[in-house]
Amino acid sequence: MKILLIGANGEIGKILQPALAKNHEIISAGRTSGNFRIDLSDSNSIEKLFEEIKNIDACICVAGDCYTGDLLSLDEKKLNIGIENKLLGQINLVLIGQKYLNDNGSFTLTSGKMADKPVKNNISKAIVNGGINSFVLAASLELERGIRINAISPAKVSDIPIQDLINAYNKSVEGIINGEIIKVNY
């Protein structure tokens, strides 16, 4: 498969890229690194990327920042970091990318444990991750041409056996599941 991996240079991306490259062609993308540049907070940048790369079978997103801090320190501006980059960024990736992906292709987004089991100082991640999961559940009902969508919701990556993380992304990309939130290690 031809796989677009957004955030390939991040902690998760660096684990996934070599693992997926054993069986697939990987096109890496990131804000400042990779084969192609993309800023998920900018719809034009997303559209440009899909115009440039043709015939993508699977789009995996392991990118997006969120503010970390307590409730008292949180304000609209800080909340918007995660909303614009991680939540709307991944949603826009699907809204735009659905027009370009090959028939029977797939989107695999990344949310995180804080959606279900938040700990203090992670309100922004809780909201953003929950939104991603809800989007995946709803969008999976409507994507056309056999295109599937799932979310991987990992616990802290340094606490996860690497193979469990790889298996979760593989299950979404190579399997037949649609509309699933795969919780890894919690």
Query: Please, which of residues 92-121 interact with ligand NAP by CB under 6 A?
Result: 110, 112
- Return the residue nearest ligand NAP (CB atom): 10
Question: What is the residue type of 132?
Answer: I
User: Does 131 engage in binding with ligand NAP (CB under 6 A)?
Assistant: no
Evaluate whether 129 touches 112 at the Cβ level (below 8 Å): yes
Which of 5, 26, 27, 41 forms a contact with ligand NAP (CB under 6 A)? Answer: 41
Give DSSP secondary structure letters for 14-73: HHHHHHHHTTSEEEEEESSSSSEE--TT-HHHHHHHHHHS---SEEEE-------B-GGG
Q: In what order do the strands lie in the sheet with 106-110?
A: 36-37, 25-30, 2-6, 58-61, 106-110, 148-154, 181-184
In angstroms, what is the minimal distance from the CB of 113 to ligand NAP? 6
User: Does 43 engage in binding with ligand NAP (CB under 6 A)?
Assistant: no
User: Does 58 engage in binding with ligand NAP (CB under 6 A)?
Assistant: no
| Cβ closest to ligand NAP, residue 117 vs residue 145 | 117
Spell out, one character per residue from 150 to 179, where the chain touches ligand NAP: x when CB under 6 A holds, - when not. ----x-xx----------------------
The residue length of the chain stands at 186
Interaction site with ligand NAP (CB under 6 A): 6-7, 9-13, 30-34, 38-41, 62-66, 85-86, 89, 110, 112, 154, 156-157
